[in-house]
Amino acid sequence: MSTGMRIVDIIAYPFIAFLIGMLYMGIARNIIGRIHRRWGPPVLQNLIDVFKLYRKREAGSHGVMFHLGPIIMVTGVVTCLYFIPMLSDGRWLKGFSFDGDLILVTYLMVLGALGMALGVGQGGVPFGVMGVTRGLTRLIGLEIPYFIAIIVLMAHYNTASINKIIELQAGGLSNWAMFKVPLAFIASLFSFWGMMGASPFDIPGAPQEVASGPATEFGGKYLALMMSSRGIFGFLKLTLWVDLFMGGAANLLILVGKTFVLFVTVLFVTSVYSRFKVEQAVDFMWRYPTIIGLIALVIEMVR
Amino acid sequence: MSYLEELKVKIENMFSPEKCYFPKENLLSFLVSNSEVRGALSYLKDVEGFKHFVMLSCVDWLEEGKFELVYIVWHPEKKVNAMVKTKIDREKAEFQSLHDMWRQICTYEREIWEMFGVNFIGHPRLEPFILEDWKDMPPMRRDFDTLHYVNEHYEWREGREESYKPRDYIGEAFDEWRKK
Amino acid sequence: MCTDNPGVWEYIANWARKHSIWVLAYGTGCGAIEMPPTMTSRYDAERFGLRGAATPRQADLLIISGYLATKTLKRVIRTYEQMYDPKYVLALGSCTINGGMYWDSYNTIKKLDLYIPVDVYVAGCMPRPEAIIEGIIALQKRIEEGRAEGAKKYRENIEWYKKNQREVFGDEMLPDYTWNFEGGI
Amino acid sequence: MIGPHNIVLIPVVIGILAYFAGKLVRPVREGLTLLSSLFVCYVVLFKAGLNTIGIYTYNFSLPQYFDGFRFGNNGFSWYFAVIIAFSYLFVSLASFPLVKDKEYHGSFYLFFNIVAGALLGIVYSRDLVSFFIFWEIMTWSSYFLVVMNPNTKGKTGLTYIVFNVAGAYAMLTAMLIVYSYAGSFHFDRVVKAVSLMTNSTVFFISLLFAIGFLVKMATMPLHIWAPDAYTESEDSFTPFFSGTLSKMGVYGFILFFGMLIGFVNIKGVYEIKDTSLIGYIVAWLGVVTSVFATFRAIVQDEIKRLLAYSSIAQVGYIVTAMAVGTALGVAGALYHALIHSVIKLLLFITVAGVIYRTGKNKFSELGGLITRMPLSYLAVLFGIIGLAGMPPFGGFASKWVIYMSLIKNHYYFLLIGMIVSSTAAFLYCYKLIYGIFLGHPSSQGLMEVKEVPGFLWVPQIVLMMVLMLTGFFPGYIVPFIETAMKGIGFSVAFNSTSAYTLSAALGGFNGFVVINVLGAIFVFVFVWYTLFFPKSKRLHRLDIYWAAETPDENTPLHYGYGIGAELDRIPWVGMSLRTHITRFYEKTGEQISGIASVLKDVVFNGDGQIYMLYAILTLVSIFLLMGR
């Protein structure tokens, strides 16, 4: 693994995530179309959309912070991606995951959104601020079950580094954390759907209510950055959940397979449930998933 | 003696309307003087039970030089309508606003103010409604020539002249059709 | 280096613009009711890459669906000026072509392309979804050939457009910060 | 020579000198204060060095009751002395322009210097009496600084002094009990005496000491004074007030519960999961404080009140971390104490500057200042990134240590409570920066505002550098914390070697790699986006998507100040916002006044014979007791 290959491996890291992420979003739109009994767009539609947005000739900006907003969002998302190992063999596609741990990744996930919120702030559109407020309030609800789940994980495996968790899950299906701490997995699934923007929780960017929330004032090239970071963010969360609960992936094929299975669960939730209000989302997340998580925690403490 | 006939008798001796007749079988219409409109309407609404306010419209009697305000109310149980009319002068067209009896009268009065130029005294919000930044005379008045206004302000698309003039057809063709 | 000369790079860009048009969900007239059936299961315009966009900043296609009162025209012009460069206009119904049923009304405009550059007209007193999809295909062909340059046309003869608009609005014009810009990131 | 024993005198003397000299020539006060703060920093950093363990005693040869004051210095006092010295320097720098034309100019500098002196006294004192004396001087002089502001409501000063004095008296009784056992006030004698005490007395004095220090750290039941006092105290004094004075509570708590009473031997008293009952209760108090205070902070409209509640919440984290009593917990508490005082100094100084320039202190009246005050915007941006605990800066490192300490010692429910409040903290961080700098200006006057006065730039820039330093090299502070911990007898907690990484029980992270990755990606995307794309147009302020309408100059567009309005629709959060602890105090107040009135009728009914009777009775009872 010469340094040349390592550099290529590092540079290719976000682009792989971008391509697979965009592919998944395209497949999602097609499957939801089929659920509505219509043809739905081609699978590569999202890639075409992003390419068209990159090739837009004009874009308006309200100031330096507005210009930096989407850039910080992509930076935050890609940095978070680098701290999550895509493959578990420790040589290829491991990014910088040996230098960071689970708590660092949890906080990096929110860094991009906060940077974006500053850009939205200078944009000056009241819809943008409403979207950001909804997003942050929803985050209070989503963060609790997720954090309970990773506490149970850390307590169970007595480590906070993702690579070590993957190693401890090696050896067959029964060793996966999904079956070792099933209740924690279920609790974390709720916040997983929330963070992926599955329908009951896609509150910040609701087009009907707040004119696509934070993305209201961003057009052209800025929107391209936001769509690609949303694609990377989707794939990022999928690989994190695969690493934590489904034993990581030895090679790219297994990774795509496992992430797709997880992604299909998102589709089921998105196409069935209608959108929550913000307080319903927080109330829901503090009630059922948190209780499931606490039960898992008590079991863990007793063990 | 259906309910409407009894009502007609009561109204005749209470308000002495100029005209009181049945244009349709479940509709009573009577024309009263300006000062009695509020009395008639509140009588119909509170005593008789005509709770629902249907609409307020304005008719432009250009020849008499009068505007005619028509208040229509509906009785939900008896399923009958009552129409209170009054005539106001066309040049100095103003009338007292009845928005305190029904809230929605506000919008009707605002539209009539914009379209006919009738000033309603005590109206909370007399501002432009549909015609933003309208400089000309109120357009629904019969002496307003729309075609002249359109020719002055808008451009036609070329190639429309030679096909046919819809206005000509309206005149004679319509009369012949009626004769047949 | 956004090259404007029709090189290969621009051809690929036009291909992408053709297959992904984001429609501004903004019903200005009676044709707005024709848009949902075009987008939902039976006619499904999404297979052509059409998708609703919430704000003009994100939209490429502005669909004027029916008669335009002067009051609505002011909002349409502001929305059009807020959209970004490769932007197209699809005008539905004969009211946008020559005033249609309201040809002698004091309140509606008679000829849409006096005020904003229009790419495709779809005639009919509210064309059905099939006609709208045909209009969209015609628009896609225009985009592919690179002739859908409404924004450049608007920029180049802005005085003519503004003169026509002043005729209708009188001196209650829109603020001009929406169309003339100075540089800056 | 100047050492830990007589460094206290410098600020106090200079304060008094400045007050009188200033009457002749006003700028002398600023000069003297600056001189004294620079000198104090020099002495703390170099003279009273990190590990110069020196004990200096002044026994005024009183009879054997009193064996004199003792002052000393070790790693632990040095750690807090650095915080005090530098915040003394920064706040004095910041207060020069802000207090220049106020009428209480003289008395401000007098009490400000005295407070700084008192704090140094507390940190260097090695016996209970001097500790208590300087604690009282601190309370009283800060009281005057709170009440000095003309628009301070009377009630604020009263609640402040009542709570703090009550806490001090609780501490005094505990000290006297300890004295009755130890026979002397010096710490080493006290430590020996406490270990011989019975469990119940240890429980009782630790309860009293806990009350004394929790009042200073504004933990939940005893926090009533804090929001009003922080908000209405003089603008340029609040950074010192919330940044450094609350850290004295931290110093006292760790000192007394770490060294003197020791978490070890009070563990024997009703033990819960290897910490004492009191430690566990106080930890839960810390969590409850942080959750309640965070939600209170979100709904505030006044800037300083939001920051006041946020400092109560952040100190709540420190209380939880140290009350748990493990080595890593105390290390986390020390780390977070440093980071929190840096952030609060930065935020309060900047906010004081903003209020000085605009004259407004509510979010609803501000907005859109980013173009006029870029440096203040950057300062607040660094501050909220630290406050929210975001990775690139130091806030994350200290929170990470606290989380790791709670996970390592299986306090999972405490951790979940802390997560609730630290996630909700994002909301008030965003509200702080949006309300003042982003969005639209609420009034036309805001467009001609100038940048914050020059003197404030120095503290802002230095504090931002400190935040960045602790973020890029989280392990840099670790050796200092470890010497501080050894000073009070705790074992080493971290196993991180280099300055780049910070690793403890379960995992670790490398701050340097994080910032390099972030920086590289940011630079790459920024260059790619600014050079290789068409230049974006500069949109007018009002050219926003407004559903096709045209907003004009006086349409209200600055909605963002209303963040938090939706919180009371969330059932749990709404309930927490509605319950007020003040009702509990009002009820107790009524009962007390009821009993007092009964007592008045019985005992003090005004005729002489009854008084004579009581006098004789008390005399008789004294003789009886003395006789035994």
Q: What is the pLDDT of residues D249-280, one digit of tens each?
A: 999 888 888 776 665 445 445 555 556 677 88
User: Which pLDDT score is estimated for C185?
Assistant: 41
Assess contact for C25 and C52: CB atoms under 8 A: yes
DSSP class of residue A2?
Answer: -
Tell me whether strands B119-121 and B94-96 are parallel, antiparallel or unpaired.
Answer: parallel
- Helices of type H across chain A: 3-35, 45-54, 64-82, 102-123, 126-157, 162-168, 177-180, 182-196, 207-210, 220-245, 252-272, 278-302
Beta bridge partners of D387: none
Tally of domains in chain B: 1
- Give tens-digit pLDDT for A186-214: 999 999 999 888 888 888 888 888 888 88
Contact D534 A159 (CB under 8 A): no
Judged against a pLDDT cut of 50, whether residue B90 lies above it is answered with: yes
pLDDT exceeds cutoff 80 at D614: yes
Give the residue numbers spanning the domain of A10.
3-302
Does some domain include residue B141?
Answer: no
Is residue B167 scored above 80 in pLDDT? no
Of the two residues C70 and B175, the one the predictor is more confident about is C70
Note the helical H segments in D100-241. Answer: 105-124, 128-147, 154-182, 187-196, 199-216, 225-232, 238-240
Contact C42 A29 (CB under 8 A): no
Q: Does chain C touch chain B (at least 3 C-beta pairs within 8 Å)?
A: yes
Q: Which of A52, A57, A219 sits opposite C57 (nearest CB)?
A: A219
The Cα B45–Cα B98 span in angstroms is 13
Q: Per DSSP, what are the bridge partners of residue B73?
A: B53, B82
Cα separations in angstroms, D374 against B62, C10, D350, D379: 67, 40, 11, 9
Q: What is residue C184's predicted lDDT score, i.e. its pLDDT? A: 41
**Interface ipTM:** 0.87
How far is the C-alpha of D529 from the C-alpha of B92, rounded, in Å? Answer: 66
Query: In chain B, whose CA is at the least distance from the CA of C71?
Result: B132
Judge contact between C82 and C57, C-beta under 8 A.
Answer: yes
Q: Which residue has the tokens 């934070």?
A: A214
Reported confidence tier of residue C6, pLDDT bands at 50, 70, 90: low
| Residue B159: DSSP 8-state | T
Element spanning D31, H or E: helix D27-42
* End-to-end alpha carbon distance in chain D: 52
Q: Torsion over CA of D338, D340, D342 and D343, rounded to 10 degrees?
A: 160
How far apart are the C-alpha atoms of C127 and C91, rounded to whole Å? 11
Nearest to D525 by CA among A105, A108, A5, A221: A221
Q: For A7-65, what is each residue's pLDDT tens digit? A: 888 899 899 999 999 999 999 999 989 988 988 899 999 999 999 999 888 888 888 99
**Partner residue opposite D545 with nearest CB, options C2, C55, C175:** C55
DSSP letters of B33-72? Answer: -GGGHHHHHHIIIIII---EEEEEEEEEETTTTEEEEEEE
Residue entry with tokens 């505002």: D449
Residues of A in contact with C46 (CB under 8 A): 29, 33, 38-41
D229, pLDDT greater than 70: yes
Mean pLDDT rounded to a whole number for chain B: 87
CATH of domain C8-167: 3.40.50.12280
Burial D37-75, CB ≥16 within 10 A → b, else e: bebbbebbeeebebeeeeebeeeeeeeeeebbbbbbbbb
Closest Cα in chain D to C28: D548
Nearest-Cα distance to chain A for D283, in Å, is: 19
Average pLDDT over residues D348-359: 92
Bigger pLDDT: D58 vs D527 = D527
Most confident of the ranges A45-49, A266-270, C179-183: A45-49
Per the CB < 8 A criterion, the answer to whether A100 and D514 are in contact is yes
Measured between beta carbons, the chain A residues lying within 8 angstroms of C41 are 36-38
Name, in order, each residue with C-beta under 8 angstroms of C111's C-beta and a sequence gap of 6 or more: B154, B155, B156, B157, C97, C98, C99
Q: What is the mean pLDDT of residues D521-526?
A: 94
Using CA atoms, how far apart are residues C75 and C87, in angstroms rounded to an integer? 17
Q: What is the pLDDT of residue D464?
A: 93
Integer Cα distance of D382 and A88 in angstroms: 36
Would the CB atoms of D532 and C1 count as touching at under 8 Å?
Answer: yes
Confidence class for position A239, pLDDT limits 50, 70, 90: very high
Residue A301 token pair: 């403490």
A41 at C interface, C-beta within 8 A: yes
Question: How many residue pairs from chains B and C have C-beta atoms closer than 8 A?
Answer: 51
What is each CA distance from A254 to A132, A242, A248, A250, A259, in whole angstroms? 36, 10, 9, 7, 8
Q: Which of C17, C20, C79, C181 to mutate to test the interface with A (most CBs of A within 10 A)?
A: C20
Is B94 inside a domain boundary? yes
Task: Tell me what the pLDDT averaged over chain A comes to.
Answer: 89
| Residue numbers in C near B159 (CB within 8 A) | none
Cβ-nearest to D538 among C1, C174, C184: C184
Number of Cβ within a 10 Å radius of residue A34: 11
Residue A171 burial by Cβ neighbours in a 10 Å radius (0-12, 13-18, 19+): exposed
Give the CA radius of gyration of chain A. 19
Higher model confidence: residue B71 or residue D501?
Answer: B71
Cβ within 8 Å of residue C125, ≥6 positions away = C93, C94, C95, C100, C101
Q: How far apart are CA A204 and CA A113, in angstroms?
A: 11
Give contacts of D 395-424 with A, CB under 8 A: 396, 400, 403-404, 407, 410, 412-413, 415-416, 419-420, 423-424
Q: C73 to chain D: nearest residue by CA? A: D548
Contacting chains of A (3 CB pairs or more, <8 Å) are C, D
The CB-side HSE value for D619 (13 A sphere, CA atoms) comes to 6
- pLDDT-derived band at B164, boundaries 50, 70, 90: low
Q: Which of A206-220, B93-107, C68-82, D255-269 has the lowest mean pLDDT?
A: D255-269
The pLDDT tens digits of the residues spanning C88-132 come to 999 998 888 888 888 888 888 888 888 999 999 998 888 999 999
Note whether C touches D: 3 CB pairs or more under 8 A: yes
Residues of A within 8 A of C178 (CB-CB) are none
Residues of chain B with pLDDT > 90, as a percent, come to: 43
Question: pTM of this prediction?
Answer: 0.89
Residue D82 near residue D44, CB atoms below 8 Å:
yes
A257 touching chain C per CB within 8 A:
no
* Residue ranges making up the domain that contains B22: 3-129
Average pLDDT over every residue of D189-199: 78
Q: For the residues B72-100, what does the mean pLDDT come to?
A: 91
Percent of chain C whose predicted confidence (pLDDT) is above 70: 94
pLDDT tens sequence across D89-119: 999 999 988 888 888 888 888 999 999 999 9
Task: Specify the higher pLDDT residue, C117 or D559.
Answer: C117
Contact call for residues C55 and C120 (beta carbons, < 8 A): no
CB spacing of C46 vs A29 below 8 angstroms: yes
Average confidence (pLDDT) over B4-32:
89
The answer to whether residue D317 scores a pLDDT higher than 70 is: yes
Question: What is the mean pLDDT of the segment spanning D584-601?
Answer: 83
pLDDT at D558: 85
- Cβ contact (<8 Å) for C169 and B133? yes
**Residue D21 pLDDT level (bands cut at 50, 70, 90):** confident
User: How many other CB atoms sit within 10 Å of the CB of residue C152?
Assistant: 13
Q: How many CB atoms lie within 10 A of CB D142?
A: 25
First to last CA, chain A: 42
Instruction: Name, in order, each residue with C-beta under 8 angstroms of C170's C-beta and a sequence gap of 6 or more.
Output: B133, B135
Write the CATH number for B78. 3.30.460.80
Least confident of C65-79, C116-130, D30-44, D191-205: D191-205
